[in-house]
């Protein structure tokens, strides 16, 4: 099995790049450089690094969920301690398997929509989120059937 990338080794620029590509995997290098306010060469170098070290596994489309019956989808509620929410949001945005991230009220501060290709990847994502400094509690529910 390939070594899994450590999300803590990526800086803010890497995380922002991944977050933009999660929303539009076909974004051009020119668009990305303007959005991130860095040179095209910097964007290309970062993309090459993220692909070669396994942080970016590929560039895909979002298909109707009925076409992908084996995908593991879940909702994770996250409680954050103190005033760490902004920092934690940025870290979470760098995790490609988190499809959407929402702020909320009540016991849970954030709700993340998770999408993975199998249970091993799902377990890995749960561990990554739970090990982020400032995440004090979480609860996750796997989505079974959409109605």
Same domain membership, residue 83 and residue 47? no
Average pLDDT, the chain: 87
Residue 2, pLDDT > 60, answer: no
Name the token pair of 65: 């969920």
Rounded to whole angstroms, the Cα distance separating 17 from 104 reads: 25
pLDDT tens, residue by residue, 53-70: 888 887 776 666 666 667
Range of the domain at 37: 10-52
Same domain membership, residue 136 and residue 106? yes
pLDDT tens, residue by residue, 34-54: 999 999 999 999 999 888 888
Numbers of helices and strands, H then E, in the chain = 5, 4
pLDDT for residue 1? 38
pLDDT tens, residue by residue, 99-130: 999 999 889 999 999 999 899 999 999 999 99
Rounded to whole angstroms, the Cα distance separating 3 from 25 reads: 24
pLDDT for residue 64? 63
Domain count, the chain: 2
Same domain membership, residue 93 and residue 139? yes
57: nearest Cα among 102, 124, 106: 124
pLDDT for residue 69? 65
Same domain membership, residue 112 and residue 86? yes
Name the token pair of 99: 């499809």
Lowest mean pLDDT among 9-13, 25-29, 107-111: 9-13
pLDDT for residue 131? 95
Same domain membership, residue 37 and residue 96? no
């Amino acid at each position: 099995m390939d070594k899994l990338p450590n999300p803590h080794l990526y800086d803010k620029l890497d995380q922002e790049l991944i977050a933009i590509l999660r929303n539009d995997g076909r974004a051009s290098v020119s668009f990305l450089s303007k959005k991130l306010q860095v040179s095209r060469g910097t964007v290309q170098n970062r993309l090459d690094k993220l692909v070669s070290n396994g942080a970016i596994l590929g560039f895909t489309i979002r298909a109707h969920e009925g076409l992908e019956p084996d995908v593991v989808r879940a909702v994770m509620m996250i409680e954050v301690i103190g005033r760490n929410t902004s920092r934690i949001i940025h870290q979470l945005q760098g995790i490609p398997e988190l499809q959407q991230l929402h702020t909320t009220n009540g016991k849970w501060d954030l709700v993340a929509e998770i999408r993975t290709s199998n249970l091993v990847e799902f377990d890995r994502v749960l561990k990554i989120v739970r090990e982020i400094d400032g995440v004090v509690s979480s609860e996750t529910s796997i989505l079974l059937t959409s109605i």
